[in-house]
Structure 1
Amino acid sequence: MTAVKRLYPLIACASILFSVVAVVAGQFGPDPYLDPLNVTISEYAVSDRGGVTEVAMAVLGVGSLALLAGLRATGAPVRGMPEWLLGVWSGALMVAALVPTTPIGADLDLAAQVHRYVSVAAFVSLPAAGALLVPRLASDERWKPVARVVEWVALAGGFGLLAITYVAMPGERVMIGLVERLLLGAEVALLGVLAGWLLWTTVSPRLSAGRLVPFGDRGVARERERVAAGSALGGASWRSAA
């Protein structure tokens, strides 16, 4: 495996960790009169003078792209719709970070409308990607150990998506900040599981079951050589016995 492939999970894990810490830290910076339980992260970010929240969103988007690149480079079962949805999530995050919404109570301008739609796209795409990945991961020997965890966090993200849809429309935004933060927590957890397992498979060829799993072209080549050598030895032993 090339050094570049090994860098992808490192970048992804570091970006996710940085984003979580930055978002939490950003909650203490804006106007103390803002209630995080009833104010969305985007609205909180408008009053964040240091721009910590926007930076965290952009970094998380970059880290998600690195995660997607790492999954593809190592042959993880993400081809097709899951990789497209992960790409939508990553791109939407970066656009939302660059195009802020309007302050609370102000009319929505064009930039705020763009921010709203890309935020919706981000929130919807990641739980959908997780749901599509579950059967694929379960049928892949390298990823089977985390398939159930991915299923749990994807399900939590789905419930969170339903909850924020209700709160944002008939629920009149009551506790929308809390619901959004819980949804985002489930989605970041999904990214964390994928990035963490990707990193684990790159640094250790032996998974939790204790069985050697070839990973990368060199690993596959070594496994083929071992099987071929074993077959040749078995054939020689059979001929000697005969």
Structure 2
Amino acid sequence: MSAVKRLYPLIACASILFSVVAVVVGQFGPDPYLDPLNVTISEYAVSDRGGVTEVAMAVLGIGSLALLAGLRAAGAPVRGMPEWLLRVWSGALVVAALVPTTPIGADLDLAAQVHRYVSVAAFVSLPAAGALLVPRLRSDERWKPVARVVEWVALAGGFGLLAITYVAMPGERVMIGLVERLLLGAEVTLLGVLAVWLAWLAWRPSGRPTSAQGRNFLTYHRFIASRS
């Protein structure tokens, strides 16, 4: 694999890590009276004077495009609908970062309507892409070790979509901030699994990993997560 192709997973991993840290930092900047359990990330971003949250969204969108480019370059089974859904996710994040919503309590203007629709597109597209990828990953020897994890995370994203749909409509936005953050966490985890495994494939000098090596890789990272 060429050096350029090896850079894609590193860019993706760095972008995901930066975005997660930036979003967490952005939670401390806005009005301290905003309740993160009942305020969405977009609404937080409106009160974020430094624009950290918007930058995080844009970087995550660009990093997702780098991830997609890396998956294609590595011959991952993403072509077709999963690829288009990943493009929708990436583009929607960038647009949502550039077109902010209105402050809490204000009427929705045209920009806020655009922000709402692209946010919905982003939230829906990534779990759908993950669900479509699962059978493809299972049939590919290189990607089979992470197929089960992708399935779990995509399923969590699907439940998150159902939960946020209920909360946003009949649920009268009760705990919408918490539900949205859990959904976004599942979606970022999906990207992270794909990015880390792509880096693992790209930088291993011994070539194609076996399923046993894949299990060792996942066991190692679960151990690291449990210690942190």
In the superposition, the TM-score normalised over structure 2's length comes to 0.90
Q: Name the SS for the 2:213 alignment partner.
A: coil
Q: Name the SS for the 2:101 alignment partner.
A: coil
- Aligned counterpart, 1:41: 41
Q: Measure the CA separation in 2 of the matches of 1:48 and 1:201.
A: 38
Q: Which runs of 5+ in 2 are unaligned?
A: 206-211, 216-225
**Residue pair 2:134, 2:147 contacting (<8 A) in 1 also:** yes
Q: How does 1:85-96 map to 2 (within 5 A)?
A: 85-96=85-96
**Residue pair 2:146, 2:214 contacting (<8 A) in 1 also:** no
Q: Measure the CA separation in 2 of the matches of 1:64 and 1:164.
A: 23
Q: Measure the CA separation in 2 of the matches of 1:193 and 1:85.
A: 17
Q: Name the SS for the 1:173 alignment partner.
A: coil
**Residue pair 2:36, 2:178 contacting (<8 A) in 1 also:** yes
List per-residue Cα deviations over 1:60-89 (Å, max 9, x = no partner). Answer: 000000000000011000000000000000
RMSD of the TM alignment (CA)? 7.1
Quote how far apart the aligned CAs of 1:109 are.
0.2
Q: Measure the CA separation in 2 of the matches of 1:119 and 1:178.
A: 16
Q: How does 1:221-232 map to 2 (within 5 A)?
A: none
Q: Which runs of 5+ in 1 are unaligned?
A: 212-239
Distance 1:75-1:29 versus aligned 2 partners, 3 A rule: same
Larger Cα Rg: Structure 1 or Structure 2?
1
Distance 1:163-1:188 versus aligned 2 partners, 3 A rule: same
Quote how far apart the aligned CAs of 1:209 are.
3.4
Quote how far apart the aligned CAs of 1:19 are.
0.1
Quote how far apart the aligned CAs of 1:141 are.
0.3
Q: Measure the CA separation in 2 of the matches of 1:88 and 1:209.
A: 33
Distance 1:109-1:73 versus aligned 2 partners, 3 A rule: same
Distance 1:121-1:241 versus aligned 2 partners, 3 A rule: closer
Quote how far apart the aligned CAs of 1:210 are.
8.2
**Residue pair 2:64, 2:90 contacting (<8 A) in 1 also:** yes
List per-residue Cα deviations over 1:155-175 (Å, max 9, x = no partner). Answer: 000000000000000000000
Distance 1:197-1:86 versus aligned 2 partners, 3 A rule: same
List per-residue Cα deviations over 1:72-116 (Å, max 9, x = no partner). Answer: 011000000000000000000000000000000000000000000
Distance 1:188-1:210 versus aligned 2 partners, 3 A rule: closer
- Aligned counterpart, 2:201: 201
**Residue pair 2:89, 2:126 contacting (<8 A) in 1 also:** yes
- Aligned counterpart, 2:101: 101
Quote how far apart the aligned CAs of 1:241 are.
59
Quote how far apart the aligned CAs of 1:177 are.
0.1
List per-residue Cα deviations over 1:196-229 (Å, max 9, x = no partner). Answer: 0000001115xx4389xxxxxxxxxxxxxxxxxx
Distance 1:131-1:241 versus aligned 2 partners, 3 A rule: closer
Quote how far apart the aligned CAs of 1:23 are.
0.2
Q: Name the SS for the 1:117 alignment partner.
A: helix
Quote how far apart the aligned CAs of 1:3 are.
1.0
Matched, 1:62 2:62: yes
Q: Measure the CA separation in 1 of the matches of 2:104 and 2:30.
A: 13
- Aligned counterpart, 2:145: 145
Task: Report how many aligned residue pairs link the two structures.
Answer: 212
- Aligned counterpart, 2:155: 155
Distance 1:112-1:2 versus aligned 2 partners, 3 A rule: same
**Residue pair 2:145, 2:214 contacting (<8 A) in 1 also:** no
Q: Name the SS for the 1:210 alignment partner.
A: helix
Q: Measure the CA separation in 1 of the matches of 2:78 and 2:53.
A: 29
- Aligned counterpart, 2:78: 78
Q: Name the SS for the 1:105 alignment partner.
A: coil
